[in-house]
Amino acid sequence: MFGVDQKNEVTIFPIQKQIKLTNKFMSDFDEMSDDHWMTTIDTPIKEFAFDISESDKIKKITFHFKKIMDVLGLDLQDESLKGTPERVAKMYVNELFSGLNPSSLPEMSLFPNNYRYNGMLVEKDIELYSICEHHFIPFVGKVHVAYIANENIIGLSKINRIVQHFANRPQVQERLTIQIVDKLKEVVKTDDVACVIEAKHLCVSMRGVKDSTSSTITAKYSGTFNETAVKEEFFKHINLESKFDI
Ligand SMILES: [Zn+2]
C-alpha cells in the first residue's frame, strides 16, 4: 500500500532489498554514506559559488583531476589518457553539473489556460540521468510529474527542462523529487503537484552491495494529490500499481 503523506513530506518506498553490508573491510564511513543521507532540501551550494567563471572552474578541475589520475598511478603522457582531465572538467561544468548554476534553468513562459482544462496533466516516463552526490556515479531512471492547472499552464517540454535542471547536479533522489515539485508549484502557481521517481543507483549495483536488481522509488505529493482519489488517478496514469505490488 502507498503511504499517505499527511505531513506533505517525501515518501520513500522501501523497494531496495534489505541487504546488510557484510564486507568487514568496509569502513564505518562507507557504510554511513551508503545510507544516502540528505541534509537539506536546497542543494548545499557555497555562498560565492558563482564568483569563479565557468572557464576558470574547468581549468581548476582539470588541474585537480590530473592529480587524482596521477595519484592512482596513471601515465598522463599516454595518448589515450592525456586529454581525460580536461574532458572530465568540461563534462562536469558544461553538462553533468550545469544545473548547479541557477541561470541554467530556461525561462518558463506561462500560457493562459484558455481551454479551462482543470483535469490532471501527467508527464510520465521522463528520462532521468543524475549523479549521486555521495559517490559521484550515476543514478538513472524515470520521472513522472503531474499537476492540476489553475489560471496558467506551461509548455510540456518545460517539465522535462525542470527535471533536467535539477538532475544536472550532484544529487540525492529524495531531494530531486522535492525540488521538482517545489519548482513546478512556483512556476505554474498551483499547490496541486506530484512527482514520483523510480531510479537505479549505480553506487548500489556496481559497487558496495552490488545489487543490480533493486530500484529506489521516491514520491512527493502536494495539495489535492494528498487525496486518495486524486493520487489513485495519478497512479493509474503512470501504471505504478502493477510495478509496485505493495
Ligand atoms: Zn550513492
Is there a catalytic annotation at residue 203? yes
pLDDT greater than 70 at residue 206: yes
Question: What pLDDT was estimated at residue 7?
Answer: 47
Domain 2-29+109-238 CATH (choose: 3.30.1130.10, 3.40.50.1000, 2.60.40.10, 1.10.10.10): 3.30.1130.10
Judging by beta carbons within 10 Å of its beta carbon (0-12, 13-18, 19+), is residue 228 exposed, middle or buried? exposed
The fraction of the chain above a pLDDT of 70, given in percent, is: 83
DSSP string, 197-231: EEEEEHHHHSSTT--SS--EEEEEE-GGGGSHHHH
Report the C-alpha gap between 224 and 218 in whole angstroms. Answer: 18
Q: Are 32 and 59 in contact (CB under 8 A)?
A: no
Residue tagged active-site, from 16, 86, 133, 233:
133
pLDDT greater than 60 at residue 85: yes
The predicted model scores a pTM of 0.83
Q: For residues 198-205, give the mean pLDDT.
A: 93
Name the 3-class secondary structure at 118: coil
Is there a catalytic annotation at residue 201? yes
Q: Which of 6, 19, 58 is nearest to 213 (CA)?
A: 19
pLDDT digit string (tens) for 221-244? 999 999 999 999 999 999 864 443
Is there a catalytic annotation at residue 195? no
16 DSSP 8-state letter: S
One-letter amino acid for residue 175 of the chain: R
102: cell is: 541557477
Question: What pLDDT was estimated at residue 9?
Answer: 55
Residue tagged active-site, from 173, 174, 195, 198:
173
Q: How would residue 4 be classed by pLDDT, with cut points 50, 70 and 90?
A: very low
What CATH class does 35-103 carry? Answer: mainly alpha
Pick the residue with more confidence: 101 or 47?
101
pLDDT digit string (tens) for 52-64? 999 999 999 999 9
Residue tagged active-site, from 36, 134, 144, 165:
134
Name the 3-class secondary structure at 194: strand
Sorted by where each begins, the domain ranges of the chain are: 2-29+109-238, 35-103
pLDDT greater than 70 at residue 28: no
Q: Tell me, yes or no, if the two domains 2-29+109-238 and 35-103 fold the same way.
A: no
Q: Are 135 and 203 in contact (CB under 8 A)?
A: yes
Q: How would residue 14 be classed by pLDDT, with cut points 50, 70 and 90?
A: very low
Q: Are 245 and 203 in contact (CB under 8 A)?
A: no
Is there a catalytic annotation at residue 171? no
pLDDT greater than 80 at residue 146: yes
Query: What's the CA-to-centroid distance between 132 and ligand 1, angstroms?
Result: 5
Question: What pLDDT was estimated at residue 1?
Answer: 33
Question: What pLDDT was estimated at residue 64?
Answer: 98
Query: What's the CA-to-centroid distance between 202 and ligand 1, angstroms?
Result: 7
Cα distances (Å, whole numbers) of residue 239 to 108, 128, 147, 244, 245: 29, 18, 17, 9, 11
Question: What pLDDT was estimated at residue 10?
Answer: 60
Residue tagged active-site, from 123, 132, 171, 179:
132
Question: What pLDDT was estimated at residue 27?
Answer: 41
> What is the average pLDDT value for the chain, to the nearest integer?
85
